[in-house]
Amino acid sequence: MNRASVHSRLHRNVLLWGAGGIPPAIRWLHVWPRYHRGLQSKGSLRPHPTDWIAAQARCGASIGILICCMTQSHLHNPNSTRRPPASFFALGYEELPEQVLCAGKTYHRVKTFKHDFFAATGLYQHIPTGQSPQELPAPNLNTGEGLAVLKLQRTFPLFGLPMQWLGAIVARHEIAIFQKLQGVDGIPEFIGCTGSTGYMHAFVPGADLAPEFKPDAAFFARLRELLAAIHERHVAYVDTNKRENILFGADGRPHLIDFQISFNCSNNENSFWLKRRVLARLQAEDWYHFYKHKTRLCPQACTPEDFANAQRRSWYIRVHRFFAQPIIRTRRKFLRRYAPRPGIEPNPPQPPQAHG
């Protein structure tokens, strides 16, 4: 059986699997209101909200997998040098701008850190007045002097559908959280906005948290203080599940820099009650992931209570992993068939050069 027929059967099976989630969703919408109005017979099985969640997640997961298959299965050669479709990237095939004007200062691009579906992030160096980019000294990544990070949210259309409006919304959301957290130890300085979908913040010397750095009890004590300070300002970080979102600074301290999916109660304690409930739930997940990282990377400094907290996995995390991980694995599998993005330099973790 050739690859084309395999992909054709895969598309058909995914569609049938997703369509199977539609009848229970319709049944749930029909039965649940009748049950609450007392119109449902007593002998009938009581519907449960998880029936609706499972049905919709099934439909959503099938659509996600189908999109991955349809957009990438045309490549039959694992060693192909073709690039993914431009819609897979926030800026399409374009790179970050060579120069950016922000807060009255001009910055020159040093390199691109990351360019994915949602945003593009790069390192920039300040150009003093009267100098040209060619006259700039080599950037000092150990001190971070004169360096800044530019993040541009999505502007490129998604298969023809305009997406700049979404990029502007996400940028405003992240900028609002960044500004709200200014003054918290471990949050970099916010420099300013660039257009409707971008902003810049100060560069923090360091690298993504990794086991080879051997973070000690003091590091996790500071990380606990950092999360507590963020929570006190009515923000949930949300993305602590991945170690690469926690920066191990050159000063030996933790830093958080990415607030794209963080949750913010803009009116603080005066926010709507449901929003406050969601905030409390997401903050609890922040603590679960904190204890998970601490028990794995620094078990010698953990108490029995720390290990117990690391085992308290909520239903929210279980549902998310059950439906999200297959889609993530499928996406990664197919993206390996493509050539690496040009202009993005590999940046393997390296231990910071200095510690405070």
- pLDDT score for 85: 86
Neighbours of 344 (CB within 10 A): 16
Helix 315-335 and helix 49-72, axial crossing angle in degrees, nearest 10: 10
What tokens does 131 get? 């100098």
CA 313 – CA 80 distance, rounded (Å): 41
Name the token pair of 107: 């910055």
Could you tell me the CA-to-CA distances from 216 to 142, 150, 219 in Å, in that order? 21, 31, 5
What amino acid occupies position 329?
A: R
DSSP letter for each residue of 164-190: HHHHHHHHHHHHHHHHHTTTSTTSPPE
What's the confidence (pLDDT) of residue 118? 92
Q: How far is it between the farthest Cα atoms of the chain?
A: 83
pLDDT, one tens digit for every residue, the chain (356 residues): 444 454 445 545 555 555 555 555 555 555 555 544 454 444 444 555 555 555 555 555 555 554 444 444 333 344 455 678 899 899 999 999 999 999 999 999 999 999 999 999 999 999 999 899 999 999 999 999 999 999 999 999 998 999 999 999 999 999 999 999 999 999 999 999 999 999 999 999 999 998 888 899 999 999 999 999 999 999 999 989 888 889 999 989 999 999 999 999 988 788 888 999 999 999 999 999 999 999 999 999 999 999 999 988 877 777 767 777 777 777 677 667 665 555 554 444 455 544 33
pLDDT score, position 266: 83
- Length of the chain, please? 356
Which tokens belong to 307?
A: 């290990």
**Residue 338 DSSP label:** S
Residues linked to residue 193 through DSSP beta bridges, in sequence order: 199
Backbone angles phi, psi at 340, to 5 degrees: -60, 155
